[in-house]
Chain A
Amino acid sequence: MSQLVTQQVLPVSRPELADAFLLDMAASAVRRGLTLAPPVAFIRRIPWTAASSELRTYFAQFGHIRKCTVPFDRETGFHKGIGWVQFSSQGELQNALQQENHIIDGVKLQVLAQRPKVLEGDQTSDED
């Protein structure tokens, strides 16, 4: 919570102070990371035929999906085979992680626990 206030009064005039501030932020991020990993699964090897709605449909069997993201490359129109699924609790995430095989469109996905980090990319998420 101290971090909230820090943000508010960021002095931007002195570079060295700004750096010290970043350091502070980083330290608090580290502290936060120690305890609070959001229940996010990092998905790799998503077949090209599937996008976020397919992922969402599939992973709904393990729990309530809060957010599901599969970033598309705006240069090619394809995604790069990776995505993130955020569940509402660690338990649900564990459900998903414990299942050995995850198959969408006949392709086996790689499902990993996301390292403590903010949910990435929101360009094509199907949040509602």
Chain B
Amino acid sequence: MAALLRPARWLLAAGASRRLPLYLRLFAGGPGRPSSVSRLTAADVRPAAGVLPSQARLYTIVAEKKDLSEEPPSLKRNSSQFDWALMRLDNSVRRTGRITKKLLQRVFESTCRSGSPGGNQALLLLRSCGSLLPELSLTERTEFAHKIWNKLQKLGTIYDVSHYNALLKVYLQNEHKFSPTDFLTKMEEAHIQPNRVTYQRLIAAYCNTGDMEGASKILGFMKTKDLPITEAVFSALVTGHARAGDMENAENILTVMKDAGIEPGPDTYLALLNAYAEKGNIDHVKQILENVEKSDHCLMDRDLLQIIVSFSKAGYPQYVSEILDKVTYERRYIPDAMNLILLLVTKKLEDTAFQILLALPISNEDNENDFGSFFLQHCVTMDTPAEKLIDYCKKLKEAKMHSSSLHFTLHCALLANKADLAKALMKVLKEEGFPIRFHYFWPLLIAHQKRKDVQGIIDILKIMKEMGVDPNQETYVNYVFPCFDDIKSVRAALQENECLPNSNTLYQAEVRSEALNGNLDSILSLLESNISPFPFNSLRGSLILGFRRSMNVDLWSKITELLYKDGRYCQEPPGPTEAVGYFLYNLIDSMSDSEVQAKEEHLRQYFHQLKKMNIKVSENIFRGIRNLLEGYHVPELIKDVKVLVDTEKIDSRKTPQLTSSDLESTLEKLKVGNQPIGDVLKQLILLLCSEENMEKALEVKAKYESDMVIGGYAALIHLCCRHDNAEDALNLKQEFDRLDPSAVLDTAKYVGLVKVLGKHGRLQDAINILKEMKEKDVLIKDATVLSFFHILNGEALRGETETVKQLHEAIVTLGLAKPTTNISFPLVTVHLEKDDLPAALEASIDLYQKYKILPRIHDVLCKLIERGETDLIQKAMDFVSQEQGEMTMLYDLFFAFLQTGNYKEARKIIETPGIRARPTRLQWFCDRCITSNQVETLEKLVELTEKLFECDRDQMYYSLLKLYKVNSDWQRADAAWNKMQEENIIPREKTLRLLAEILKSNNQEVPFDVPELWFEDDRHSLSSSSASTVEADMEKTVLEACRLRKFRDAFTMFLEAQKQNVVFNSETYSTLIRLLLSKDNFTEAMQVKDFAETHIKGFTLNDAANSLLIITQVRRDYLKVALETLKAALDLEHIPSKIAVTRLIQAFALKGDLESIEAIQKMVNGLSIGLSSMVFINNIALAQMKNNNIDVAIENIEHMLTSENRTIEPQYFGLSYLFRKVIEEQMEPAIEKLSIMSERLANHFALYKPVTDLFLQLVDSGRVDDAKALLQRCGAIAEQTSIFLVFFLRNSQKPKKAPVLKTLLELIPELREKEEVYSSSMKSYVLDKDVASAKVLYDHLTAKNVKLNELFLKRYASLLKHAGQPVPFTEPPESFEFYIKQLKEERESPS
């Protein structure tokens, strides 16, 4: 205890003394550096509105307006929706000078979805419909604007004068013809007062058409209303006169302006310039430009671009270059120029557009980004002729503006499905030496495929042929065949059109396609009718696919026979034995273990048929297949493959099954006869080695030393290493070297040597071996590095400091392994093992200085804290903060305090001002807690980081839930969920799903809809905002109460509303009903439902509420009503949850209501509820038994299990539910008959799953005597290890299962030594704190000399410690995580 308190004292004392490290003092000093940093970044996040280019200027206005807008503050989602839309559009304009139609459409749709869009959103959308859409024709743009206008109005957006003005601006930009007076009338009807801007724009509208009369009329209005006449009006008048053909008066306007006291500005001059440009008067334009230059005014690039547009639109492209010369090409105008270029292309003035494009100041040197794609793409859209486009591409490339212009354009052409253009481009590409690839044609083929247009497909294939591209198999299978009704007709169609490929790709494709559909008969006939020979290899993948999709063993065999015997397919050197053997190997390799298990019988028949056909495989292949089958746990099949082995070949090669004594006597004889004995000697040595008979092997070696060969030595060395015989191993190695100094052992043998030498203190010898490995360039695999780690770690655990150090040094400096954190672990471990903390810290620091790694610093810090070694902590922290920064140090310290349970200190650290979240480090610690199951530590971490700046709270809770899930702790999970609401966290979908899973798997109801709940509520409060405020408030209150899960408040408010006859949105009722049901307020829920049904036409509950309703009805035993609910839901094509349907079925079964179950079966047939058919089988049987139809039920089950065409494989045929229910309900006759049935299935059909399941259920429900009797009658149960393993694994996760597992071990004691079983049992004992049973297990295992893994020991030790009992062995020092990982690694490493 004192040790725990010491660090606290240190920390508290440090606060007052100068021992407080500098950084802590800094942080503590109020508004110091770190907090100012965070302020800075916060400012950065704000959109930098001031630097927007001109086109985007309007957005800043909108953005400012946003702040002033009178949106109710509660509509948070609305405003974030707006921010999002603004950001998207703004970014687009800033980068590309435009908005694409797609983007605008998307923003529009999402705005509509958000409910009732605010005025600012409407404004944003409307303003985007003008010149920012240069890729659209003018009429299309205006149509878009109208669409937006009408739709938003329908959604309840209130328009004000700003919206009308925005619409006017769009009209002007789009040169939309409209009647200004009608427009004014419309505004009047909407009771909107036009303002100055409205009139100005209307004047401009008249002027654009040259209607000076109309313009004067409006001007008159303005005068009567005493509105000021601004420069904009005069500029419009300039345009107006010019368009009316009166240039003189247009010029005069400037004088009028001056008389009125208004100095003409750039806008007026621009109007005049445009006027002359439209007339093609370059001289005047140049003159005015000169005048403007002389005056104080200055035209910007944007204005000059405007003049260019005017010239080109009016048909004077020849003057464009003169204006271009005057453009200064400031970079910030590039978006404007891009906009203009696109506009020109839209207007079919692509040559002018290209001229401007080439003139743009794009730095050609760095050439990192290609420029001009937007132009090429738009040209493709606008159907610019191919020759022109190709010319542009080439020029762009020459100008080094675009490195892959042709490819890019081809991409656009393919995207737009323009086959002719694509063809032209591909031709050029081919000429230029670029490859034309198959997949270039896929987009074109797909377009035809969708329309089932055979001729179109053929046309594309012809183009491919023309381009010299032979379609590959994939092209045929995926893109050509689907267009035809039948694969057979493809060949004919291709032949007719002379598109048949020269190679046999088409055959291969046909085979593959048939294989995909599992049509083995078609494959067989294809292979039989095919005339051109081709290699088996090219078919292998397809055949495997086909075999796996068909269960027709006869066809499997026939095809294999054909391939084996027919010269067309196995011509190549290795011959049919190799090819077919390799095929078999691959076939089995490609299957999963469960698949092989399921198809065991089929495979067996197949092998035997092959045998009859006299098909053979080589010994090597057999061995490969044998290994696979062992890995799949189907060793029973091995003997069936063995029959295929080509025995003749084996006989000639070696004599099998010779015993060592046979060999020894042969050896004697040969020796006496003075014949060469090398081969036999080697055989004998190898045999002895494989028998692990070291003594004898060494003896033989000594006897015949002069005849020993390299191979024999290698095996012997390895043998000695395995037997921990360093002495002989080294001697043998030296003899080996003498025999042939250049010979190389394989990696594992070298590693074995290093290990054994190191272990016996022959350090220098071990290092010499390492050196040799380097010199001889021995292959270092990942597993080798892992072995090095284990060697080092072993030495470290033995406390051999010097050995660890030198070996590590040698391994790293020789470059055999990189100095990673992992391999350097033992350097620190060795000191930690000895409890020498200063040395451990020193080692860690030393490693950092050498290799920049800091292994186990967390463990070192934890130990230091536990000991209260303040000086060393200070040293460690100084070092870390100097090398890796203060933040890293603070986190290290924080985690160490947490780990050691010093939460107060941890809190102090994490509350250091300026500290911010480091997601990777937090995640590291979370994961660590999860793997080592440290619930309290993780909970504390989550709690302490609540206020941590930028901490991803959802992620933290997600980790916490993950741990709860491991422990199936739904109560804590539920509590965490409440805390999340308290903290106002908006969970991600995955978090909600995880939470739902935990609750569901623990048979708890999920009180929310996965995953829409949170958004739903907001949306509805929005859509109701237009309703009268009282009603809206009521609805909001109900939803808010629902969100907080205060069901009583919500229901009271509902009653209140009902009294006043206020009707809510139907989703609100669904939400309320769901909440009431989840709180088991059935009557209230029905009351709400009735009201909703009578007041909202066609009111229906959503899926989640429906499922909950069914479950509640089942619980209340209203089964018929529940069935109706289900039927109604299904009629509406709703899909209720699996659990709801299952509950209902189970309830009917217990009532013996067979009819209803069958009715449900019919109803849900073919629906994707995810119900397993076992649910029906179990429950139908149960229902039948409840009706005393036990025999019928049993007959059905037996039939399903034993019939030829069974639908469920026996190993998935789980009857546990039925057994459990029958036992629970004490239906003795049924139990007896089921027992007889299970035994019959076991004895006659070798189906052991049912009897084993029954046995387990008997044990599980405490009927041990019955179980025992069953076991006695049917001994094979004890051999169903795999079923038991699963039972153990599963039950070890659940609390209170320790007695069951214990009983099981007593009944079948041989299980006890299975690693999975004793591990699971220990886990369960620990979970249930059953110290006595754990002790018995441990004693049993140690008595049996079972080598227990560290994880097991660690678990046991933790249990003992918890119970305050002494631990009779050294507790494994590492974390649970470490041992789990180690165990895994050991299993995977080959040794």
Binding site for B on A (CB under 8 A): 1-2, 4-21, 23-24, 27, 30-32, 34-36, 47-49, 51, 54, 72, 74-79, 89-91, 105-107, 124, 127-128
Partner of A35, one of B474, B633, B1139, B1385: B1385
Would B1175 and A105 count as touching, CB distance under 8 A? Answer: no
Residue in B1001, B1174, B1316, B1388 with the greatest tally of chain A CB atoms within 10 Å: B1001
Against A, the Cβ 8 Å flags (1 = close, 0 = not) of B409-434 are 00100110000000000000000000
Q: Which of B474, B1003, B1215, B1293 contacts A24 (CB 8 A)?
A: B1293
Given A35-B1381, A48-B411, are A5 and B1285 neighbors across the interface (CB < 8 Å)?
A: yes
Contact for B1283 among A9, A27, A77, A127, CB less than 8 A: A9
Instruction: Tell me which residues from 1240 to 1291 in chain B have a Cβ below 8 Å from any Cβ of chain A.
Output: 1249, 1253, 1281-1283, 1285-1286, 1289-1290
Point out the residue from A9, A36, A54 that lies within 8 Å of B1282, measured CB to CB: A9
Q: Once the chains bind, are B443 and A76 in contact (CB under 8 Å)?
A: yes
How near does chain B come to A10, taking the closest CB pair, in angstroms? 6
Q: How far apart are the CA atoms of A8 and B1172 in the complex, in Å?
A: 16
Q: Which residue of A lies closest to B1139 (CB)?
A: A15
A1 touches B1387 (CB 8 A): yes
Residues of B within 8 Å of A7, CB to CB, are 593-594
A82 to B1253, CA, bound (A): 47
Contacts A9-B1214, A23-B968 supplied; 18 other A-B pairs, CB < 8 Å: A2-B1285, A8-B633, A9-B1212, A9-B1286, A10-B1214, A11-B1216, A12-B1214, A13-B1174, A13-B1214, A13-B1215, A13-B1216, A15-B1142, A19-B1001, A23-B966, A31-B1380, A32-B1384, A51-B439, A72-B439
Complex contacts, A74 vs chain B, CB 8 Å: 446, 478
CA distance A53 to B1046 in the complex (A): 60
- For A51, give the chain B residue with the smallest CB separation: B439
Q: Is B782 an interface residue (CB 8 A)?
A: yes
Asked, given contacts A8-B1282, A35-B1384, A77-B479, whether A17 binds B444 with beta carbons under 8 Å apart, the answer is: no
B780 nearest CB neighbor, chain A only: A91
Which 6 residue pairs spanning A and B have beta carbons closest together? A11-B1214, A77-B443, A77-B442, A19-B1001, A12-B1172, A5-B1282
Asked if B940 is at the interface (CB within 8 A of a chain A CB), the reply is no
Q: Are A76 and B1384 in contact (CB under 8 A)?
A: no
Query: Which chain B residue lies CB-closest to A76?
Result: B443
Q: Which residues of chain B have C-beta atoms less than 8 A from A6's C-beta? A: 1285-1286, 1289
Quick one: CB contact mask for B446-484 with A, threshold 8 Å, 1 for yes? 100000000000000000000000000010001100000
For this complex, 17 residue pairs linking A to B, each with C-beta atoms less than 8 Å apart, are: A11-B1253, A12-B1175, A12-B1212, A13-B1175, A13-B1214, A14-B1217, A16-B1001, A23-B1001, A31-B1381, A35-B1381, A35-B1385, A49-B407, A49-B440, A77-B439, A77-B445, A78-B414, A79-B439
Within 8 A of A (CB), among B1154-1181: 1172-1175, 1177-1178
Known: A5-B1282, A51-B439. A128 touches B541 (CB 8 A): yes
Which of A34, A35, A36 has most B Cβ within 10 Å?
A35
The answer for the CA separation of A11 and B782 in the assembled complex, in Å, is 38
Contact of B867 with A by CB under 8 A: no
Q: Do residues B1216 and A9 form an inter-chain contact, with CB atoms below 8 A?
A: no
Measured CB to CB, the closest approach of chain A to B296, in angstroms, equals 49
**B1211 and A9 within 8 A (CB):** yes
CB-defined contacts of B1249 to chain A, threshold 8 Å: 9
Tell me if B965 is interfacial: C-beta within 8 Å of chain A: yes
Cα distance A124–B1283 in the bound complex, in angstroms = 38
A23 to B1289, CA, bound (A): 11
Q: Whole-angstrom distance between the alpha carbons of A7 and B997 in the complex?
A: 20
Count B interface residues, CB 8 Å: 72
A48 to chain B, nearest CB (A): 5
| Contacting residues, chain B, for A12 (C-beta < 8 A) | 1172-1175, 1212, 1214
What chain B residues lie within 8 Å of A27 (beta carbons)? 966
Minimum CB distance partner of A78 in chain B: B443
B1199 at the interface (CB under 8 A from A): no
Q: What residue of chain B has the Cβ atom nearest to residue A54's Cβ?
A: B437
Q: Would you call B1285 and A90 a contact (CB within 8 A)?
A: no
Q: Using Cβ atoms and an 8 Å threshold, which residues of chain A touch B1000?
A: 15-16, 19
Is B537 part of the binding interface, using a Cβ–Cβ cutoff of 8 Å? Answer: yes
Q: Report A-chain residues with C-beta under 8 Å of the C-beta of B893.
A: none
B902 within 8 A of A: no
Q: Are A75 and B597 in contact (CB under 8 A)?
A: no
A34–B443 Cα gap in the complex (Å)?
Answer: 41
The complex places the Cα of A5 from the Cα of B193 at a distance, in Å, of 79
Q: Could you say which of B446, B1173, B1281, B1289 contacts A76, with CB atoms under 8 Å apart?
A: B446
Q: How far is the CA of A93 from the CA of B1289 in the complex (A)?
A: 35
B1233 within 8 A of A: no
Give chain B residues whose Cβ lies under 8 Å from the Cβ of A8: 593-594, 597, 633, 1211, 1282
Q: Are A5 and B541 in contact (CB under 8 A)?
A: no
Asked if B1316 contacts A2 (CB within 8 A), the reply is yes
The answer for the CA separation of A91 and B780 in the assembled complex, in Å, is 9
Q: B1290, A21: Cβ atoms under 8 Å?
A: yes
Name the distance in Å between B938's Cβ and chain A's nearest Cβ.
Answer: 16
Residues of A contacting B414 with CB < 8 Å?
77-78
Residue of A nearest to B592 (CB): A7
Q: Is B1340 an interface residue (CB 8 A)?
A: no
Interface flag for B1218 (CB, 8 Å): yes
Kindly identify, within residues 986 to 1017 of chain B, every residue whose CB is under 8 Å from any CB belonging to chain A. 997, 1000-1003
Interface centre among A6, A90, A106 (most CB of B within 10 A): A6
* Cα distance, A11 to B1249, chains bound together (Å): 10
Chain A nearest CB from B538 CB (Å) reads 8
Residue B1138 lies at the interface, judged by CB distance under 8 Å to chain A: yes
Please tell me if the beta carbons of B782 and A2 are within 8 angstroms of each other in the complex: no
Across the interface, name the chain A residue whose C-beta is closest to B1171. Answer: A15
Q: How far is the CB of A95 from chain B (nearest CB, A)?
A: 13
**A residues near B968, Cβ cutoff 8 Å:** 20, 23
Does B632 interact with chain A (Cβ within 8 Å)?
yes
CB of A45, distance to nearest CB on chain B (Å) = 13
Asked if B762 lies at the interface with its beta carbon under 8 angstroms from chain A, I say: no
Contact mask for chain B residues 165-183; partner A; CB cutoff 8 A; 1 contact, 0 none: 0000000000000000000
B403 within 8 A of A: yes
Complexed CA–CA distance, A112 and B1119 (Å): 56
Decide if B1384 touches A49 in the complex (CB within 8 Å). Answer: no
What are the residues of chain A within 8 A of B593 when measuring CB–CB? 4, 7-8
Query: 8 Å CB contacts to A: which residues of B581-615?
Result: 593-594, 597
For the complex, give the distance between the alpha carbons of A76 and B442 in Å: 8
| Residue numbers in B under 8 Å from A90 (CB-CB) | 782
Say whether A4 contacts B633, CB under 8 Å.
Answer: yes
- In the bound complex, CA of A89 to CA of B411 (Å): 36
> Are A35 and B1217 closer than 8 Å at their CB atoms?
no
Chain B residues within an 8 Å CB radius of A36: 1384, 1388
Residues of B with C-beta under 8 A to A32:
1384
**A27 nearest in chain B by CB position:** B966
Q: Which residues of A contact B632 (CB under 8 A)?
A: 4
Q: Counting CB contacts under 8 A, is B1294 at the interface? A: yes
Is the beta-carbon distance between B1293 and A23 smaller than 8 angstroms?
yes
Cα–Cα distance between A62 and B436 once the two chains are bound (Å): 26
- In the complex, chain B residues whose CB is within 8 Å of the CB of A124: 474, 478
